[in-house]
Structure 1
Amino acid sequence: MLATTTSAHAQTAADAALDFARTLDGTGSIVSSDTYLSALESDAAAGRPLALWQLGTMYENGEGVDKDPVKAFGYFAQIANQHADTAPRGLEADIVASSFVKLGDYFRMGVPEAGVSQNPAEYHRMLMHAATYFGDAEAQYRIGMLYQQEDGLGVSPMLSARWLQSAAHKGHCLAQAHLGDLLFNGMEGYEPRQAEGLMWLNFAHVTCLGTGDLAAADELLNRALSVATPETRAAATEMANSGAVVSVEF
């Protein structure tokens, strides 16, 4: 069955972090920021991925601490280095996968303060581990998009569609939107399948509702609708309603 919820990893990690904050003193009430930070640092020193993740995101965003990309990078790197081969299931795996994606962003942008230069190859390597070993939807989506760029992983519409489909079935709304866009419009050497494309674009609209990604998804949908024939629209609706089309044939 097609998933129509947002990618689980961010929500799961956020919920767990809140639960963690509430249980530090065993009362169910969120503890003071100083106590919380101290407890996080203690757990991070013991290598607990959730604490490392929380500290990394706090220093990345300046939440309760001064923004410090060097410290943020260090915490995410510690998770990746110590837990790269954790079993690809459950909360810890979720956080480890997200940390690989975070590290990829630092390699993509560079962290001069930490002596980390822009390194596209490392960016791609971080994404590939998160996408293949952990099945992370965000990483799979990004790889799918990189296969549409000469300066990414090289243009391969078939590989792009495969990676986007993997993320789309996990409910990643932008993956659904870009898979739909690729199928609807086609690429050189890749024939369009407009009904399937429009079906995925419609899925993306529903999945993206209430998120910051809705405008981007709807831009692709509206562009397709502006040229779709009534027959294509009807075929897309029939596919979606039948439930028979849940994957893309290559």
Structure 2
Amino acid sequence: MKVALLKDEVAMHRGAFTRLATSLGCASILTLLILGHAHALDTKKSAMEAVNQMANITPQQALRDGARAYYSGEKDKALSPLRYAAENGQPMAAWKLGRMYAQGDGVPEDDLQAFQYFSQVVREYSSEGPKARSAPFVASALVELGHYFQTGISDTAVKQNPNKAREIFTYAASYFGDADAQYSLGLMYLDSEQPDHDNRLAARWLKLAAVKGHVGAQAKFGELLFFTEELTSARITGLKWMTLARRQIVSGEKDAWIISLHEKAFSLASEQERRKSAEWADEWLNKRSSLVASTN
């Protein structure tokens, strides 16, 4: 059950998707991720220390023990079993450690350490393909790496590199069909300061993520259709997607931009457009709920 909670943290992106860009080969993407910096990971040392403690425990059991400790609030006790599992064929463990270091969750925040764990997931498991059990962790790790290349990591060899970030997002978005990657790629094409800014490509990627239920993508896709002059023929469709996104969130600082965006569009729409958008959003949510219920 605790391992299942770990799995729930990564969206299981399934279903058909349009391949809008040529997928990069695994060897190519790995070349992008293998950097020549000399930062010393604590993983090998800690994993070796953990070996003596867990000589009679399988990596699967170590993963379960780590998950149990983590969700019991004993995050310090989760580290050794998770590291042992990560070094012995458990991609979920390496991914979780990456998340912990990225967020300073039970460990000191360390973006480079997180970067290394995410790189490990990609390096060791991306060749298994998009249908493997490791696929959601690989896809999520790729998205995390893409974000690191967007910003860089201060005082390390991981420098800001938007082109590399775009390549990684494209790989995860097309080969793995990952909604977070599709959303991130769409945002990059929306950025008017980028040399390859393209609203239509942005719309395509955002729509792919929106259809999969990515709320942020639904809001941005709707905004693009509603407010972009070259796409005004799709104004009502844009309002529908923004209304759908608004339906799925609760008030909070994180989602305040969606609320503000929807209110702005709503104030400019006619009463008929508002009614149609609300009806469409309710229908979409009802269908999705029925689909989820039928698969459980």
Which segment drifts farther, 80-89 or 197-206?
80-89
CA shift for structure 1 position 214: 2.9
Alpha-carbon shift at residue 177 of structure 1 (Å): 0.7
Residue 57 (1) aligns with residue 99 (2)? yes
Residue 214 (structure 2) pairs with residue 218 (structure 1):
no
The letter for the 2-side match of 1:59 is: Y
TM-score (structure 2 length as normaliser): 0.68
Q: Is the 8 A contact 1:62 1:68 kept in 2?
A: yes
**RCO greater where, 1 or 2, for CA within 8 Å and sep 6 or more?**
1
- Are residues 204 and 153 of structure 1, via their aligned partners in 2, closer, same or farther at CA, if it must alter by over 3 Å? farther
2:178 pairs with 1:182: no
Query: 163, 167, 170: which one pairs with 2:212?
Result: 170
Counterpart check, 1:12 vs 2:19? no
| Partner Cα separation in structure 2 for residue 165 and residue 36 of structure 1 | 38
Separation in 2, partners of 1:37, 1:160: 40
* TM-score (norm: length of structure 1): 0.80
**1:32: how far off?**
4.9
Unaligned runs of 5+ in 1: 1-8
SS of residue matched to 2:128: coil
The sequence identity of aligned pairs, in percent, is 34
Q: 1:228 aligns with which of 269, 272, 280?
A: 269
**1:128 corresponds to 2:170:** yes
Task: Give the structure 1 partner of residue 138 of structure 2.
Answer: 96
Change over 3 Å in CA distance of 1:11–1:44 after alignment to 2: closer
What are the within-5 Å matches in structure 2 for residues 25-36 of structure 1?
Answer: 30=72, 32-36=74-78
Match of 2:200 in 1: 158
Question: SS of 2:190's equivalent?
Answer: coil
CA distance in 1, matches of 2:224, 2:68: 51
Secondary structure (helix, strand or coil) at the match of 1:190 reads helix
Separation in 2, partners of 1:193, 1:26: 46
Deviations 1:35-69 (A, max 9, x none): 42111111121242111112112222222222222
Q: What's the counterpart of residue 290 of structure 2?
A: none
Structure 2 distance, partners of 1:202, 1:138, is: 20
Q: How much has 1:104 moved relative to structure 2?
A: 1.0
Partners of 1:195 and 1:232 within 8 A in 2:
yes
- Report Cα offsets for 1:166-192 as digits up to 9, x if no partner: 1111111111111111111223x3334
- Give the stretch that moved more between structures: 189-198 or 100-109: 189-198
Q: Which amino acid aligns with 1:146?
A: M
Provide the rounded CA distance (Å) in 1 between the counterparts of 2:159 and 2:228: 36
SS in 2 for 1:191: helix
Per-residue CA deviation, residues 96-135 of structure 1 (Å, 9 max, x unaligned), is 1111111111111112443111111111111111111111
Partner of 1:195: 236
Cα distance in 2 for partners of 1:233, 1:195 equals 9
Structure 2: where are the runs of 5+ without partners?
12-59, 288-296
Instruction: Measure, in 2, the Cα distance between the counterparts of 1:26 and 1:236.
Output: 42
**1:241, distance to aligned residue in structure 2 (A):** 5.9
| Farther off after superposition, 27-36 or 155-164 | 27-36
Code of the residue aligned with 1:53 in structure 2: it is: W
